[in-house]
A and B are shown apart, each in its own frame.
Chain A
């Protein structure tokens, strides 16, 4: 992850290597420095095995989410950023509504970016901490496959835990 600072790199390399990431949802394209994009293990594997063309198509991730992912990677590719700076920047990236966070966690998982997966998962957990299970079910898009009787029975097993919830 640690890469040489920009200026040192420019001194020897005539041109900075870039990659183009393309969202296959809305065809938005992002040109990023290679060392930024390589924080994604998925992209790194593609580049390492010469599977990456000029444009790397990213399925199932929208431009909006891809922009957040790239912002995260840029922050973490900056060698002069302090731990505190990164913590603040991470908090800014995940200060989103729950649905955006779920898209972001899917993207972090698909692109295999461990740090982003960690902060996003924690933020989602913090966001659902005070919600009743019906809301959580809706947020995660889970179909309720219990019959009303079954659900009541499961609830009755730990009825005390629902205090304060509807």
Chain B
């Protein structure tokens, strides 16, 4: 039998799930080199993103993480399996998911242990401790949030940490911003966060090479706020223009939808409008993509978050009131409940794409070497 040219073989293998590719590394020395190579990892990842395949959900119920295949969610129900191999398994108090990018997921726990994790390859990297360096000792730290994404300029994965400190004596406050680079495997300080009174405690939303958060000038975030972006390449903050909404009486949630920055304007007990900024940074490019009327759902919801588009793009998966998942049919304008057997309460749902992306910022090393390196870095 004739051997397949490498590009034909790579094309075939790029259509397979990660778990099978990990087995196929055993076929031969050259297959292993192909599968571990950066070109193949990119080819596989891009195909998964373009064809919306190899997608999974990480579901969190309090301190427990569950995995479910996103494509199997369409039968109406899904059987999630508990993930007993994640890196914070032994210290899973207050576990939180801070976003995912190219198959890597950022996790933290209440001890402020932060790790990057590839659930498909089960590799992870624990981030080194980063001290909080404020000048005034009389300040309590009020809020600590993270964002995670690939800086496409330097091709480096970065974790951004923002800490807000508030004085115990008066109303003064200060922010500290630190950035972890996967390539350098270290933290460094970045530009100071703009002096907004409040910062909503959410994971940074990745779109157009920047992480985004909602801030307000007032001390409490009640209604619409401003969108602040942290450019991952320049490592600096800026404001992002918002759509012109006549009625500003909504609660604002940021999302990334199909790679674009998206806004979810929740008009309580009335409707939810979803906007997408098609041309990043251009105010006029904001367009309303759909609107969910409260009357179309069985029970009115307080809070919704978009999780992902369905494979054919006809439906949107949403997380409702931090407790359940629903599919919203964009054409029929109808809601379908997703049953998640085995999970009493759903605290968080995050989509991730199965990829071979390594966690050493370069070429994947073998398990032992990686472990040794991790220990050295701690």
Contact = CB atoms under 8 A, between A and B. Distances in A.
B366 A102 contact: no
Interface string A125-166: 110110011001100111111100001001111101110010
B172 interface: no
Interface string A77-100: 000000000000000000000010
B243 to A, nearest CB: 36
A105 B29 contact: no
B85 interface: yes
B20 interface: yes
A117 B22 CA distance: 25
B20 A129 contact: yes
B121 A125 contact: no
B23 A105 contact: no
A128 B24 CA distance: 11
B1 A154 contact: no
Contact of A109 (B8, B13, B26): B8
The bracket for how many chain B residues form the interface is 20 to 34
Most chain A CB within 10 A, of B4, B22, B27, B30, is at: B27
Question: From DSSP, what is the main secondary structure of chain A's interface residues?
Answer: helix
A111 B85 CA distance: 47
B31 A154 contact: no
Contact of B9 (A140, A154, A155, A160): A140
Contacts of B13: 125
B19 interface: yes
Contact of B8 (A99, A105, A143): A105
A122 interface: yes
Contact of B1 (A102, A136, A145, A146): A102
A112 B205 CA distance: 42
A144 B28 contact: yes
Given A121-B15, A124-B12, A136 B4 contact: no
Given A121-B12, A125-B13, A125-B15, A142 B27 contact: yes
B23 A132 contact: yes
Contact of B22 (A99, A129, A158): A158
B11 interface: yes
B1 A133 contact: no
The bracket for how many chain A residues form the interface is 35 or more
A60 interface: yes
Interface in B4-63: 4-5, 8-9, 11-13, 15-17, 19-20, 22-32
A106 interface: yes
A146 B26 contact: yes
B189 interface: no
B7 to A, nearest CB: 8
B5 A109 contact: yes
Contacts of B25: 154, 157-158
A146 B28 contact: yes
Contacts of A136: 24, 27
B257 to A, nearest CB: 27
A113 B82 CA distance: 44
B12 A133 contact: no
Contacts of B17: 129
Given A106-B2, A117-B11, A133-B27, 18 more contacts: A60-B2, A102-B1, A105-B4, A109-B8, A121-B8, A121-B15, A125-B13, A137-B28, A142-B3, A143-B28, A145-B29, A154-B25, A154-B32, A155-B23, A157-B22, A157-B25, A158-B121, A162-B23
| Leading 10 A-B pairs by shortest Cβ distance | A125-B15, A141-B1, A158-B22, A161-B22, A161-B19, A137-B27, A121-B12, A133-B26, A133-B23, A157-B367
Interface of A: 60, 99, 102, 105-106, 109, 117, 121-122, 124-126, 128-129, 132-133, 136-137, 140-146, 151, 154-158, 160-162, 165
Interface of B: 1-5, 8-9, 11-13, 15-17, 19-20, 22-32, 85, 121-122, 366-367
